[in-house]
Amino acid sequence: MSATRSAAPTPWAWIPTLYFAQGIPYVVVMTLSVIMYKNMGVNNTDIALYTSWLYLPWVIKPLWSPLIELFSTKRVWIVALQFAVGASLACVALTIPGPGYFKMTLAVFWLMAFASASHDIAADGFYMLALPEHSQAAFVGVRSTFYRLANIGGQGGLVYLAGELQERTGSMQTAWTIVFWVLTALFVAMALYHWLVLPKPAADVRGAGHTKLADLVGDFFKVFAEFFKRPGILVILGFLLLYRFPEAQLLKLATPFLLDKTELGGLGLSTKAVGIAYGTVGLTALTLGGLLGGWIISRVGLKRALWPLILLMHVPNAVFVLLAMAQPQDVVIVSTALAVEQFGYGLGFTAYLMYMILVSDGLHKTAHYAICTGFMALGMMLPGMWSGWLQQQLGYLPFFVWVLVATIPSFAVAALIKVPDGFGKKTAP
Give the three-state DSSP class for 177. helix
Encode pLDDT of 125-156 as tens digits.
787 777 765 565 556 556 777 887 888 788 78
pLDDT value of residue 196: 92
Bridge partners (DSSP) of residue 201 are 4
pLDDT of residue 216: 63
Where in the chain are the domains?
9-211, 213-419
All residue ranges of the chain with pLDDT < 50 are 1-6, 208-210, 428-429
The CATH number of 9-211 is: 1.20.1250.20
Return d(Cα 314, Cα 16) in angstroms, integer. 31
Residue 197 is inside which H or E element, if any?
Answer: helix 172-197
Q: Tell how many helices (H) and how many strands (E) occur in the chain.
A: 22, 0
What pLDDT does 15 receive? 84
What is the Cα–Cα distance from 105 to 96, expressed in whole angstroms?
Answer: 7
> What amino acid occupies position 314?
H
Superfamily of domain 213-419: MFS general substrate transporter like domains (1.20.1250.20)
CA distance 72 to 49: 35
CB contact set of 142 (below 8 Å; sequence gap of 6+): 12, 15, 16, 19
On the question of a common fold for 9-211 and 213-419, the answer reads yes
Report in angstroms the alpha-carbon separations of 205 from 40, 201, 260. Answer: 46, 8, 51
What letter would DSSP give residue 328?
-
Give the Cα separation of 92 and 397 in Å (integer). 34
Q: Provide long-range contacts, Cβ within 8 A and 24+ apart, for 213-217.
A: 213/70, 216/66, 216/69, 216/70, 217/66
How buried is residue 94: exposed, middle or buried, by Cβ count under 10 Å (0-12/13-18/19+)?
middle
Give the relative orientation of helices 407-416 and 245-259 as an angle to the nearest 10 degrees: 150
What's the pLDDT at 214? 63
Q: Return the half-sphere exposure (C-beta side, CA atoms, 13 A cut-off) of residue 29.
A: 26
Model confidence, pTM: 0.79
Q: Got the DSSP string for 14-80?
A: THHHHHHHHHHHHHIIIIIHHHHHHHTT--HHHHHHHHHGGGHHHHHGGGTHHHHHHHS-HHHHHHH
